[in-house]
Amino acid sequence: MKTSQAEIIREYGPFEGSRNIGGVTYDGNRVWFAAGENLRALDPESGAELTTIDVAAHAGTAFDGRYIFQIAEDKIRKIDPETGTVVATIPAPGKGADSGMAWCEGSLWVGQYRDNCIHEIDPETGKILRTIESKRHVTGVTWVDGELWHATWQDDKSDIRRVDPRTGDVLERLDMPEGTGVSGLESDGADIFYAGGGGSGKVRAIRRPR
């Protein structure tokens, strides 16, 4: 397994009125983050906040190319980012114990914090299609270039790891600096991971290794 230190290349926030970041996604232009009482978007170039949607946003956030999916308590809401309208709601597989979330190839991938696993679920019904086990508490999930990456945060240590999507075996690991954790993870489709910073109230940009 290849290991290295995570390279943080930029920090955003903390943001007024938000004490915790629960999830992160990227729509190609804006970085969206779950800020507890609402869902917010920032410009990754300037760092400026762009918009807020008044919907509960406690954990994972994902973007399917048209809609945002947002976990709050035991539900996943499908939201039109242009209007803020909730167009559908499905049950979250962890019934409130869910963490990160990602979209890939027609499925949602939902991390389970204390259950140390990732569920692939049907985005229309919430039905669990399969499960990938992890050795640590899962706190974020993302796909990029056919690679499955997920974040962990346990015993005051956090990392971002690339795993074999068939077996869950760890192939590569980026260790976060001491005192920093990842709560929500998303790729920009190229060289950057966006990561929620939990109680720091920050969103961080981390270089994706090549």
pLDDT at residue 210, as a whole number: 82
pLDDT along the chain (210 residues), means of 10: 96 93 97 97 97 97 98 97 98 96 97 96 98 96 97 97 95 97 97 97 95
Q: What is the pLDDT of residue 79?
A: 98
Amino acid 145: pLDDT:
96
Nearest alpha carbon to residue 185 among 158, 157, 155? 158
Q: How far is the CA of 53 from the CAs of 29, 43, 128, in angstroms? A: 16, 15, 28
How close are the terminal C-alpha atoms of the chain, in Å?
15
Q: What amino acid occupies position 30? A: R
Tokens coding 15: 């943001």
Residue 107 is predicted with a pLDDT of 98
Q: Which residues contact 11 (CB under 8 A, 6 or more apart)?
A: 197, 202, 203, 204, 205
The pTM (predicted TM-score) of the whole model is 0.96
